[in-house]
Structure 1
């Protein structure tokens, strides 16, 4: 135990710093794409035509109902061996991870957005259309901004979850923080020190994301409708 801190400072932290940048490269695009997918899917699931609603429901049920690990295995290990009309799709491990995280996260975002949209009274849509606005413009300019504010807390939680389950990228050969930590532990048998630091790294990432998301939420507040103090 005399070399507890030297081991962490000289071996664990430098390696994890490399993995940190890989994790961020996975998390940021996945969070943005997942939120975009969720907004589009949630909106179409409420206001789209019947067949589109059923398609959105199927997408949400599929990606919420299957484990993320299985989804990642499919994108990385199964898809390259699947032949679509003579076309074989092969993606890099990073691309597979971003696709998997985005689609899974988007399914959860869609449900938050759908709940937010259903909380808006239909009278607002009728009033907007009475003023000559098209249904698309009414939803885009009046209903969706309100629904997004209502569902933003849930969407923030999903982004926090995404940061944590980004660690699953290591199962498809990506050396992000968890993958590098596992390699260090196997090579040195210093499991306690290694995974303690890995956990601290994730805790810091989640804390920073929470601060940023709380700032965005405050910026989205409408005067007179601020959140009540917790």
Structure 2
């Protein structure tokens, strides 16, 4: 029995050992470096103001993601429309919001009163029905939700559009041949099948949204980053307070990564089943 190690295996083991040594060294540098002040990090990790900022970050993520997905679905349907007007509007929307930085959009919404001192509902070329003072209406919270949701909608629209066009057009045609309307076929047949292509990249967008909420600190929104900034502006412990935010962001995104892995595995099993058996339209599906 030969115990010789092939050059390929030797190279692989050497690379693995080098990576492990580098990882251990980096961990030691981080732990042993007194400048990180880990005692301060752990002292502030569960402090009430930091936890409040964390809750704001999570709340913004959920609300903005839900609104962005709903608006993105409408934009994706408009983008696929044969009518040039809704298709052109959706394309223009996506072009604008994907082409400008989210930070610029947030600052724009926060300063909307500069352009429109009042927001009104009026009859075209007629009287004003109701109006609001823009400074009262556009608070840091509403500016953050609007800015994050509208920006996210542009990305979700492209994700959903890609999922919809991944479904065989014959599915919709077969459903309409059985008497279903185009809208009902889209809702009952096309969208459920497109979900296997939509959900995995949506998980990536959710993780990006968690990190993107840190931008709302520039408009004085009391999120996680703003909370730790408020502390280190008083204590001048900049690095340890930033590490508090880093720990929480890593914790949340790690949980989301695990959830995304399970979802991707679930839909991968669905793809394998579909490779063995083609779906058909039963009476239950068309009911």
Same fold (TM over 0.5): yes
8 Å contact from structure 2 (residues 79, 91) kept in 1: yes
1:31 to 65, 82, 91: 65
> In the TM superposition, what whole-angstrom CA distance separates every residue of 1:40-79 from its partner, at most 9, and x where no partner exists?
2112211362211111111111111111111111111124
Structure 1 unaligned blocks of 5 or more: none
User: Is the aligned partner of 1:58 residue 2:105?
Assistant: no
How far apart, in 1, do the equivalents of 2:95 and 2:245 lie? 32
Partner of 2:217: 170
RMSD, aligned α-carbons: 2.5
Change in Cα spacing, 1:114 to 1:24, as seen in structure 2 (3 Å) is same
Q: Secondary structure at the match of 2:80?
A: helix
Q: Distance in 2 between matches of 1:206 and 1:32?
A: 18
| Cα distance, 1:96 vs structure 2 | 1.3
User: Who is 2:41 aligned against?
Assistant: 8
**Structure (1 or 2) with the larger CA radius of gyration:** 2
Change (3 A) 1:2 1:224: closer
Q: How many equivalent pairs are there?
A: 227
Aligned counterparts of 1:52 and 1:24: Cα–Cα separation in 2: 33
TM-score, with length taken from structure 2? 0.71
> Any conservation in 1 of the 2:44–2:244 contact (CA below 8 Å)?
no
TM-score (norm 1): 0.88
- Which residue of structure 1 aligns with residue 144 of structure 2? 97
Shift of residue 186 of structure 1? 2.0
1:78 corresponds to: 112
1:180-195 equivalences in 2 (<5 Å) = 180-195=227-242
Contact 1:12–1:184, Cα closer than 8 Å, also in 2: no
1:41-56 alignment, distance < 5 Å: 41-47=75-81, 49-56=83-90
Q: 1:40 aligns with which of 74, 92, 117?
A: 74
Is 1:225 aligned to 2:272, yes or no?
A: yes
Structure 1, 203-212 or 11-20: larger mean CA deviation: 11-20
Give the secondary-structure state (helix, strand or coil) at the position aligned to 2:180: coil
